[in-house]
Amino acid sequence: MKLLIKKNFLFRNMNMRNKLLIIFIMIGLVPVLFFSAFFFQQSKSAFEDELGKYTMEISKQVGGRLDAFVQEMERVSNIIRFNPDVQTVLYEWTEERTSPSIYAERNVRSLFENIGNFRDDFKGIFLVTDRGLLVYNGTDEVAKLNYNFSESAWYQAVKEQTSFRLNTAHPQTYVKGEEVVTFSVRLTDNREFKSKGTLLIDFTPHTILRMSENIQLGKSGHVWMMTPEGEPVVSSQQMPDWLEDEELLREIQEEPSGFFHFEYAGMQMLAGFYTSSETGWKIIGSVPFEELAYGLYRIRTFIVLLAVGALIAIVFLATALSRMITKPLKVMERRMVEVGKGNFEKRLPVMARDEIGRLSISFNRMIAMLHRMNNEVFQSQLREYQQQIHLKNTEMRALQAQINPHFLYNTLNTIACIAEVYDRDEIAEISQSLSRMLQYSITGGLTATVEEELSHLQSYMSIVNVRFPMKFDLKLRVDPGIRRMRFLKLVFQPIVENAVNHGCAGVDKGHIVVEARFDGETAIFAFMDDGIGMTQEKLLSVQERLRTKEMDSDTSTTVNHIGLRNVYHRLYRLYGEQFSMTIWSKPQQGTKIEIRIEGGVADAKGVDRG
């Protein structure tokens, strides 16, 4: 399952050309392979059937020769058994031989000689009466006249048969003992209608063997004869080893004729068999399949060459077709890459009116529309950007004016008065503090460390305390861990200045507390005074003005709250939704301003100072 998923994943991520190439090859190759295999299998099956039938016909041909031989012997036997002299021998013979019987024996022997002269494979013709008389014609061999045939099992089987019988090879023990094949038939006395003797016609085993010797069955094929019981007809003829297989032997014994395939000694074999109608013997021919199947192998070679040629043609055509289909897509892909880089000038060539051509037309329309929309968006963004630049320049100019001109004016008047009247050291202190404030305001980037912001605040309070001796008390509650954190510049001083000018106006002694700490990941900055505070209506008005983007047209309101509003909007632009400012105030109980930065502020070492 995992392998299938992996292959499916690889196919999905393959480029279109390779996908089409694989699909075209599969569509073309699979039918070719299927029909080639089907055609070869059908040809092989038909070829095997024909070869099987051919093998069976060979066996049938040998069986036909055997049957013809038996029929010939039947005719010869009929000539002998119906011969009058043979009938006389059967009827007249007694131990006291008479002239008719002796004359008849001589004529029978002459008949046997005449018949024997027609074939060179005769080993003798014997007439054996049940009383023991032996009349024969041999091949210069003397038969045993007193031989007891009844002791031979094969002879007993002959006597039990009433019809013609071709016996398997056996020793000719009644002559010299050589192996012979005997054709036999029982002889009947036509006068008394009784079986009184047996006719034996002996042949050399070669008579049977040569029936199949001139049969060509491949290079190493053979033809055998065996009895229905599975025994060889001629003992000198060795039966094949594969006949020891009981299943194969049973198939041959149960059917009159047929053919089958089997494997023997690592080779595919083909066997055909036929049953002789005259003898019941099985004629079997077997041959290695490859010796007869050279035509089939030529067909297989032709099919393989055809499949290889078809594969080459399919690959060539599939490659050309996939290239032709994917070429416009590749051009479109490269054009899309150029469009992604911002080049809207070029258009796709429309080379056809098919689906890809229509897609190219739609793509060109889309590019034109994107080009127009891109120009419109660019112009809109340019105008918006210009407005933002103008707004930021305005804000920056406002931020540069964080130090109240009235404060600078009063400070300078104070310095002048002290210098003329008192001639005191405060002049040096206030001058240095003012110098540090101005330097901090106009140098560096938008951010500084909390430590630097506190130093700027202390410089401011030094000047305030010179102007208003003993009137304001500033306390700092700052966690050591937050001092090195980076924070927006000019936040602490405007808020404290607002407390000095408005929160503590009209009080004898004003106390101002500044806290800076961490609450988990949140940085908290709090500014508290014990001044006159604000009513609920005024507090809501201040909070509402802090959140408006436009500057107030009221000059007094702008002067009183420009520092706090600037601080609010600058913090919001820098920290976004992480920033929040909360103001608490009640009349005659003072005011508290708390700034929270969710997630803390950046380490001073990791922030660019601008």
294 band by pLDDT with thresholds 50, 70 and 90: low
> Where would I find the beta strands (DSSP E) of 246-316?
257-264, 267-275, 282-288
Instruction: Give me the pLDDT at residue 88, please.
Output: 82
Q: Which of 294-298, 518-522, 550-554 has the highest mean pLDDT?
A: 518-522
Task: Answer whether residue 359 shows pLDDT above 80.
Answer: no
- Between 375-389, 551-565, 595-609, the lowest mean confidence (pLDDT) is in 551-565
CA distance 289 to 292: 6
CA distance 70 to 104: 27
What's the Rg (C-alpha) of the chain? 65
CB half-sphere exposure, 481, CA atoms < 13 A: 10
- Between 160-169, 316-325, 527-536, 556-565, the lowest mean confidence (pLDDT) is in 556-565
In this structure, is the dihedral angle defined by the CA atoms of residues 428, 433, 439 and 441, taken in order, positive or negative? negative
The answer to whether residues 59 and 223 touch, using CB atoms and an 8 Å cutoff, is: yes
Give the whole-number percent of the chain exceeding pLDDT 70: 80
CA distance 18 to 11: 9
CA distance 82 to 89: 12
Task: Answer whether residue 347 shows pLDDT above 80.
Answer: no
CA distance 175 to 147: 9
Interior angle at CA 256, CA 255 and CA 261, nearest 5: 55
Mean per-residue pLDDT, 350-364: 73
Mean pLDDT of the chain: 78
Using alpha carbons, list the distances in angstroms from residue 323 to 74, 358, 401.
83, 19, 70
Task: Answer whether residue 451 shows pLDDT above 90.
Answer: yes
The answer to whether residues 496 and 453 touch, using CB atoms and an 8 Å cutoff, is: no
Task: Answer whether residue 131 shows pLDDT above 80.
Answer: no
3-state helix, strand, coil in the chain (%, to 5): 55, 20, 25
Task: Answer whether residue 581 shows pLDDT above 90.
Answer: yes
Q: pLDDT of 478-523, one tens digit each?
A: 999 899 999 888 899 999 998 888 877 778 788 999 999 999 889 9
Interior angle at CA 552, CA 545 and CA 591, nearest 5: 35
CA distance 268 to 197: 51
Q: How many helices (H) and strands (E) does the chain have?
A: 16, 17
Mean per-residue pLDDT, 367-372: 78
CB half-sphere exposure, 398, CA atoms < 13 A: 19
Instruction: Give me the pLDDT at residue 2, please.
Output: 57
The answer to whether residues 426 and 590 touch, using CB atoms and an 8 Å cutoff, is: no
Of 531, 462, 538, the C-alpha closest to 493 is 462
Enclosing H/E stretch for 539: helix 536-547
- Between 374-378, 391-395, 541-545, the lowest mean confidence (pLDDT) is in 391-395
Task: Answer whether residue 273 shows pLDDT above 80.
Answer: yes
Please give the span between the terminal C-alpha atoms of the chain, in angstroms, as a whole number: 58
Instruction: List the structure tokens of 38.
Output: 């089907």
Q: pLDDT of 39-55, one tens digit each?
A: 767 776 776 777 778 78
Mean per-residue pLDDT, 156-177: 84
The answer to whether residues 91 and 104 touch, using CB atoms and an 8 Å cutoff, is: no
Q: pLDDT of 22-38, one tens digit each?
A: 777 777 777 777 777 77
CA distance 309 to 319: 15
- Between 37-51, 242-256, 544-558, 573-587, the lowest mean confidence (pLDDT) is in 544-558
For tokens 């019981």, the residue is 229
Task: Answer whether residue 574 shows pLDDT above 60.
Answer: yes
Q: Say whether 571 sits in a helix, a strand or coil.
A: helix
Q: Within 10 A of 85 (CB to CB), how many other CB atoms are there?
A: 20
CA distance 594 to 528: 9
Using alpha carbons, list the distances in angstroms from residue 80 to 105, 125, 166, 267, 547.
12, 10, 16, 51, 146
Instruction: Give me the pLDDT at residue 73, please.
Output: 87
CA distance 453 to 482: 12
List 314's β-bridge partners, or say none: none
Q: Say whether 534 sits in a helix, a strand or coil.
A: coil
CA distance 561 to 583: 14
Q: pTM of the prediction?
A: 0.48
Extract long-range pairs of 324-327: CB within 8 Å, 24+ residues apart.
Answer: 325/20, 325/356, 326/15, 326/16, 326/17, 326/20
CA distance 145 to 132: 8
